Chains A and B, each alone.
Chain A
Amino acid sequence: MNDINAYSRRVFIRQGALLASFAATMPHFIQQSAFGMLAPDGSVLGSRPGVPDERILVVVQLSGGNDGLNTVIPYGQAEYHNARPVISIGEPGKPKNGGAALELDQANGIGLHPNLTGFKELHDSGKLCVVAGVGYPNPNRSHFASMDIWQSGRPEGKGTGWIGRYVDASCNGNPAADMAVVVGRTAPLAMTGTKSTPIAFESADLFRWLGADKNGAMDKEYQAMVRAGSLPGVEPGSQESFLMRTALDAQLTSDRIRAAVSKKPLVAYPGSTLAKQLQTVAAMIRDGMKTRVYYVSMGGFDTHANQSGGHANLMRQLGDAILAFQKDLAAQGNEGRVMTMCFSEFGRRVRQNASNGTDHGTAGPMFLIGAGVQPGLQGKYPSLTDLDGGDLKFTTDFRGVYQEILGKWMKAETQSVLGGEYAAPGLVRG
């Protein structure tokens, strides 16, 4: 996407000199989004009929290995309570160890963690899909290794990320620079492609040059410097020109994001870090950014000891943040465009450990949230009696979930991104 000459040539051929003459002073992404909107006959369209340009995916990563059994709770099974005498949660209406599950699937005796009231509300309005028993063959119990497997979408956990490959292939292989945005310190592997790197920032206020805080005179000179883009006389294909244009891109992206985030949200958000991240994402969606995939994450799920209180707090933060986000999207009128996906690198062992916590396990639940999901509990809840060395056997391959999202929600070709076909229950309404 940084191949300026090749790009200019293509634009020139497709649209004549009109657009190409601006090439030197235009930032990359404006050119590229203009290019993305060119119809095959060369006419410029706002959007292409039948192609859902506007659909958005928000990924929420739960780092540390969320205890799936205490998140989506098989309260109806004695094995669950026997394996977790101190930390198991009671059936709806009958609190145990301080909590009673919220009803999810009465027929099968499965409920939500008592603090997932946000998810319960979304469930009751048909906007929550719970995918049971998601995992992969030969599970790896290392946080990093398993996270790399989930993020790359490949058993060896190496190479590019599954979203990165999706972005690489978008816009006829010319992905726009703002296709993928991470609200976080670094770009996760999942979002990294061969051609594409996401925009990543921890806080919008720090997504800018900070030297200007020194004095106003500096800001004026700095702005003039970067906004000039590629200066007249600088060879268009040179490193210098490339850097000048990227600096202009960065400044315009920063302007855009900071302007978007400065607006007061339409609903109140809780104070958690996840809520703040999602509030930032909602602001960018509201502002009409062309971004198709946003990525946020939340840590603290590695609950080896005395987990009940800590895990309950995490459940509260997760459910409340996502509920607020969903309400914000609805208030914006964007609810129909956005799907949110929550995952963790693994679930935890069935039995509690000697410290009233749980150790690294295997399969766990995933959550999809939005108006486009197939609501309710989907897939088969793993057996608590047919275990593999004390761990759950997965029933849905996570790549099947990716396939549903990419294929049915994002309307993308999935074979090249995932390198195969995977079985999955229906999770997205066609």
Chain B
Amino acid sequence: MQNSPAIPADLRALGVGTPTARVTPLFDTAAARHLLNRAAFGGTQAQVDALVAMGLDHAVDLLVNFETQPSKTVNSDDFDRNLMPPLSREERDKLNAARRAREEAEVERLERKENQAKANDRRQLVDLKKWWIARMIESARPLEEKMTLFWHGHFATGARTIEDSWHMFQQNQLFRTYATGNFGTLVLNVIRDPAMIKYLDNDKSRKGRPNENLARELLELFILGEGSGYTEEDIKAGARALTGYTFEDDEFEYRDGNHDAGPKIIFGKEGNWTGDEFARLALAKTECSEFIASKLYRYFVNDTPAADLPAEQRDAREAFIRALATELRTQQYEIKPVLAKLFRSAHFYHACNRAATIKSPAQLIVQTVRQYGTPPRQLSALAGACDLMGQDLFQPPNVKGWDGGRAWINTSTLFVRQNVAVYLLTGKRPDVYDWENDETRFDPIPLLSGATTPDVVADRLISMSLAAPPHPERRAALVSFLTSQAHMEASEHSRTIAALALVTALPEYQLA
């Protein structure tokens, strides 16, 4: 504790106009856990203690400047890039001709080839989901994975439309490369990304017949925000600017012959704008910084709907997002320094922002494994659970991505959330339920650090599991359970698992 410096005054500047005065600016255990929950996927008590010992600055450094941490390399042969050889143009023509001529044997042969490729590709997509979940669980650079997930939700593209798992993998690597890099550069890469080009039909867009899909979403969902600082005319002109941006096989290809090089007016400025220039013009608008700032805020700080906040908190939030937007512009959209500042700000640590975000399904799974040290169990089951909880990786519901926050929670997903924790703790899947045959035994005893009395055990389990101290009735219920007759008759292993199952079933467990 003696190593916990006060949050530096200059960094508190980001919290101007926020209720910072009431926060104890100490980087204590609770603050370190808060940081680890938000900038990472939570962690063990030992990791929390280590962060406290190194102090706020070093703790933030460790998480944000993650390049110093080892990374599991991605081998080029981890995935097969040639699983989805699309029918060649020749084959496609053949297929159409065979259809017209009703040569069923030929139609069947070509369709079979296509269907086989699709089936193999769907299998590889499952491998890709497992691979990513494993990476989130194992990574020594959790913020890298967390921002990769953020960009996947921001620049949402669905595998089902793209029908090429290699392109999804390629895109995932792009998001990882720019996880905390420059947002503007990332945008320029995204408009060259085969998955995005396919998803938003830019491969079908050409001079004289522009397809507006990519231009529209760039302004509406990727750069400026819906209805914010652009007109329909800007979209139409942008679509023309983006003609010729397509892909061949696995690579971006610019086809000059398809590009509309004529003059266009974008945001009132006339020029023979290219797709890059269209993106840059949008990136130069203030609305961009505000839009990205509010999305980062919702992801990392607080996703309570504004309407449900007391007025002074709403004002503080707005002021903070404005400051964050200014910071984005000052840093010329370098994400890393902005996050570093965010994670050092008093506003981030304020009581009203603790336990104020709802864990995404991926966060719930990964954090449960990382904070308790449970075995990861079957990754395919975890990928399936993610889907059941509304976050099918590589398949966001639409181009808007996942709504997040309270949209994660409903009467169906809440039970899955509780039961996936039961699965991680016990190894038993709901459909083959059998408490007594725990194959990969998870030993929870070390979590108690020698505590045996119900009061101390309850406090330990609560502090390592919940993002904020719960209502006193929760603690009382847990103590009462820990002292109950049936409970005392069980082995220490069994009753500790049971207590953890109960804690993870608390509605409050869904908060980070």
Is the Cβ of B410 less than 8 Å from the Cβ of A215?
no
Q: Tell me the number of A-to-B contacts counted with CB atoms below 8 Å.
A: 179
Contact A3 to B305, CB < 8 A, known contacts A217-B484, A243-B510, A246-B411: yes
Residues A4 and B308 in contact in the complex (CB < 8 Å), given A207-B415, A239-B358: yes
Number of chain A interface residues as a range: 35 or more
If A231-B473, A250-B414, A353-B107 touch, whether A237 touches B309 (CB-CB below 8 Å) is yes
Determine how close the nearest CB of chain A comes to the CB of B300; give it in whole angstroms.
15
B108 within 8 Å of A (CB atoms)? yes
Task: Tell me whether B410 and A246 are in contact (CB under 8 A).
Answer: yes
Contact A250 B411 (CB under 8 A): yes
Tell whether A144 is near chain B: CB-to-CB under 8 Å. Answer: yes
Contact of B304 among A197, A238, A244 (CB under 8 A): A238
Q: Is B105 an interface residue (CB 8 A)?
A: yes
Residues of B within 8 A of A239 (CB): 303-304, 355-358, 406, 511
Mark the stretch among A51-59, A94-102, A126-134, A220-228 that contacts chain B: A220-228
Q: Please indicate the chain B residues that have their CB under 8 angstroms from the CB of A148 in the complex.
A: 160
Q: What separation, in Å, do the CA atoms of A349 and B487 have in the docked complex? A: 63
Per-residue CB contact flags for chain B residues 283-322 toward chain A (1 = under 8 Å, else 0) read 0000000000000000000011101111000000000000
Partner of B388, one of A4, A6, A186, A216: A186
Quick check: B412 and A211 within 8 Å, CB to CB?
no
Tell me if A185 and B388 are in contact (CB < 8 A). Answer: yes
CA distance A291 to B373 in the complex (A): 42
- Among A13-21, A38-46, A115-123, A198-206, the one that faces the other chain is A198-206
| A389 in contact (CB, < 8 A) | yes
B58 within 8 A of A: no
Interface residues of A in 218-258 (CB under 8 A from B): 218, 221-222, 224-226, 228, 231, 233-234, 237-240, 242-244, 246-247, 249-250, 253-254
Given A213-B435, A225-B477, A228-B473, A352:B104 Cβ within 8 A: yes
Q: Does B221 lie at the interface of the complex (its beta carbon under 8 Å from any beta carbon of A)?
A: no
Among A144, A197, A349, the residue within 8 A (CB) of B412 is A197
Does B124 interact with chain A (Cβ within 8 Å)? no
CB-CB nearest in chain B for A353: B108
* B418 within 8 Å of A (CB atoms): yes
**What is the minimal beta-carbon distance from B104 to any residue of chain A, in angstroms?**
5
- Judged by a CB distance under 8 angstroms, whether A159 is at the interface is yes
A240 near B507: Cβ-Cβ < 8 Å: yes
Mark the stretch among A323-331, A354-362, A392-400, A401-409 that contacts chain B.
Answer: A354-362
Task: Assess whether B13 is interfacial by the CB under 8 Å rule.
Answer: no
Q: Would you call B160 and A144 a contact (CB within 8 A)?
A: yes
B22 CB, min distance to chain A CBs, angstroms: 16
CB distance from B218 to the nearest CB of A (A): 17
Task: Decide if B415 touches A208 in the complex (CB within 8 Å).
Answer: yes
Chain B residues within 8 Å of A106, by CB: none
10 extra interchain contacts, Cβ-Cβ under 8 A, other than A214-B494, A243-B508?
A199-B412, A215-B487, A217-B484, A218-B501, A221-B478, A221-B502, A237-B310, A244-B508, A246-B409, A391-B99
- Which 9 A-B pairs have CB atoms at the shortest separation, nearest pair first? A237-B308, A243-B507, A211-B501, A389-B99, A250-B411, A353-B108, A217-B486, A247-B507, A217-B484
Offer 26 A-B interface pairs, CB within 8 angstroms, sorted by A.
A144-B160, A199-B412, A207-B415, A209-B415, A209-B418, A210-B430, A214-B498, A216-B486, A218-B481, A222-B505, A225-B477, A225-B505, A225-B506, A226-B507, A231-B471, A237-B308, A238-B308, A240-B355, A242-B308, A243-B507, A243-B508, A247-B507, A250-B410, A254-B411, A351-B102, A352-B104
Interface residues in chain B, defined as those with a beta carbon under 8 Å from any beta carbon in chain A: 96, 99-100, 102, 104-105, 107-108, 111-112, 115, 160-161, 163, 303-305, 307-310, 355-358, 387-388, 390, 397-399, 406-407, 409-412, 414-415, 418-419, 422, 430-431, 433, 435, 471, 473-474, 477-478, 480-481, 484-487, 490, 494, 497-498, 501-502, 504-508, 510-511
